[in-house]
Chain A
């Protein structure tokens, strides 16, 4: 199975971690909950739900550590009946990243921790200092059609219009109330 990433520099480290540590699922995300890469998930939206929860666990554990121990908790492990969870933070030039890994009988906590250390090193070496930008201005050019496209997308999303085969917006004659 191949890791899927939103930024290319995390692909090789994440793939190696997933393969070597033999995890069932792996997620690499920003502390705010934005996914950078995933392994083993089949539906994008489930990835997002897992990211939001992993980010929440990570940030609350860190805060709890500060309150109770004076330093943030940076690594968590939970042994479930069939799967075990491992959540930990890796520091890179792009800021801290959070790893969520789930594994079963084919792996172990020791193996996951061992390859997590390697993942930290690989990410630290691979991380570009700043986020890549598509233009000299470093901005995403959403163009002059942003407003039209936004209206179009939201109208379809809320069932207030439907796209026709040519991609033009089609408005029902009787528009349902909000």
Chain B
């Protein structure tokens, strides 16, 4: 559970970026680190190998500011994606309040994505966390690669998003979709904390950033588009777009 200090009205949440090796988890944190003023973030801690592959985790504390009267801090972690680091992934996942699954959109990485999602479910279960109740969003990263190399969002959704959670296309290297993903998981985590998950969160989940839009540009305004404005045919959507299936989700929380 998030750490809540009622006396000082502070909330601290742990968000874990999960996914297969080289899918872009660390890249997400690097982009956030570079974008956020130093006064609003702490040191980025990276426990990596000499070749910059994540060995244990990356860690970035963020000060989101005041939300509904609570000073809100997020602790962003990544896990090592390589299969043989299963034990450390499980350790980092401990106490997570929300998970961002960063999938690699390349067709050749589909198996790795599926295995990593299964690994996530297994590790959540081992920590006694209900996968259906844990705040989760999916980021389909590397959508900037040539079309012949990547899978469409529908295909990725069919393979990975059977819970029908909010999903975001992204090009984390250039920052597209990073903000939207962080916003998506932030809202799910805070809504769950507030006890209203599944309420207006559904609307938030279905919102997306239209191409060229400025996410978060105005208070109360959807980042670019109203829920009903999100096209079903998202494969053509710009990185950062979110979608939610209209079909009934199988096993949806």
Binding site for B on A (CB under 8 A): 6-8, 30-36, 43-46, 48-49, 52-53, 56, 59-60, 63, 131-134, 137, 139-143, 145-161, 168-169, 171, 175, 177-178
**Complex Cα gap A52–B87 (Å):** 17
Q: List 10 A-B residue pairs with CB atoms under 8 Å apart, sorted by A's residue number.
A: A6-B5, A31-B95, A45-B43, A48-B59, A146-B187, A147-B200, A150-B67, A155-B218, A171-B218, A175-B214
| CB-defined contacts of B8 to chain A, threshold 8 Å | 6
Contact call A169/B187, Cβ cutoff below 8 A: no
Given contacts A32-B95, A63-B87, A142-B70, whether A151 and B42 have CB atoms under 8 Å apart is no
**Complex Cα gap A115–B95 (Å):** 28
Q: How many B residues have CB within 8 A of the partner chain? A: 71
| CB-defined contacts of B191 to chain A, threshold 8 Å | 142, 146
Is B47 part of the contact surface with A, judged by Cβ < 8 Å? yes
Contact call B219/A148, Cβ cutoff below 8 A: yes
Contact call B178/A48, Cβ cutoff below 8 A: no
Give me 18 other A-B pairs in contact (C-beta within 8 A), A155-B218, A160-B179, A177-B175 excluded.
Answer: A8-B7, A34-B95, A49-B45, A49-B61, A56-B92, A131-B4, A143-B68, A147-B204, A148-B220, A149-B67, A151-B219, A155-B215, A155-B216, A157-B37, A158-B35, A160-B217, A175-B214, A178-B177
Contact call A142/B215, Cβ cutoff below 8 A: no
From A32, A63, A178, B178 is in contact (CB under 8 Å) with A178
Is B246 part of the contact surface with A, judged by Cβ < 8 Å? no
From A59, A134, A159, B91 is in contact (CB under 8 Å) with A59
| CB-defined contacts of A148 to chain B, threshold 8 Å | 219-220
Those of B161-202 within 8 Å (CB) of chain A: 174-179, 182-183, 186-187, 190-191, 193-195, 200
Given contacts A139-B195, A146-B68, A149-B66, whether A158 and B6 have CB atoms under 8 Å apart is no
| CB-defined contacts of A7 to chain B, threshold 8 Å | 5
| CB-defined contacts of B41 to chain A, threshold 8 Å | 45
Contact call A147/B187, Cβ cutoff below 8 A: yes
A44 to chain B, nearest CB (A): 8
Contact call B193/A151, Cβ cutoff below 8 A: no
A-contact bits for B6-42, CB 8 A (1 contact / 0 none): 1110111010000000000000000000011100111
Q: Give the residue name and chain of the A residue nearest to B11 (CB).
A: A140
Is B88 part of the contact surface with A, judged by Cβ < 8 Å? yes
Contact call A178/B95, Cβ cutoff below 8 A: no
From B14, B65, B176, A32 is in contact (CB under 8 Å) with B14
**Complex Cα gap A31–B92 (Å):** 10
**Complex Cα gap A148–B61 (Å):** 22
